Amino acid sequence: MKHILSYFEYCPHCGSRDFREHDAFSKRCGACGFTLYHNASAAVAALVVNARGELLVCRRALEPKRGMLDLPGGFVEPRETAENALRREMREETGAAVENVEFCCSFPNVYEYSGYEVHTIDLFFRAEIPDETALFASDDAAELFWLPLAEVNPDDFAFASAREALRRLKAAKL
């Protein structure tokens, strides 16, 4: 898997071919001094546990990791707060409006997309759904279902960050 900066052969500022690795997350131009950084992208995920002690889980509809279990969520868009991104992603993937959104934890992750690594910082939020009957799978979610928390196996989930958040949730550290 290639790091995205490996695709940049020329300086995007001046066009010089003297555009070299500066450190693990940047390239610098020897001609004009411009430095291009590749910072982590922010992503959000919802930890929704209902009154019956069940976790809202989705099955991924798209690559990467199509068909695997995941938590509802997605990438934060420019000029969007993490909380608003969670609300938008929940509407898009589940049709649900969420309430009582509360930050729990964050973990770094690597998301493989289009042949390169997207480094992310995944932000996990507890949230409540006032109306469970209105849920439907849409957008990136092929299926939604409630899984008893006692039956949640973090190793069944697509991404390392979600696995760690679920381990913490199950250990009642969230």
> pLDDT tens digits for 17-41?
999 999 988 999 999 999 999 899 9
| pLDDT tens column, 163-174 | 999 999 999 865
pLDDT at 50: 95
* C-alpha torsion sign, points 134, 140, 144, 150: negative
Residues 96 and 102 sit within 8 Å (Cβ to Cβ): no
Residue 1 reports pLDDT greater than 80: no
Cα 44 from chain centroid? Answer: 5
What one-letter code names the amino acid at 49? V
Percentage of residues in the chain having pLDDT higher than 90: 81
157 vs 57: CA distance, rounded Å: 10
Task: Check if the beta carbon of residue 128 is closer than 8 Å to that of residue 99.
Answer: yes
Q: What is the pLDDT of residue 151?
A: 96
Are the C-beta atoms of residues 92 and 139 closer than 8 Å to each other? yes
Report yes or no on whether pTM surpasses 0.85.
Answer: yes
Instruction: Delimit the CATH 3.90.79.10 region(s) of the chain.
Output: 41-170
Superfamily of segment(s) 41-170: Nucleoside Triphosphate Pyrophosphohydrolase (3.90.79.10)
CB 53 within 8 A of CB 41: no
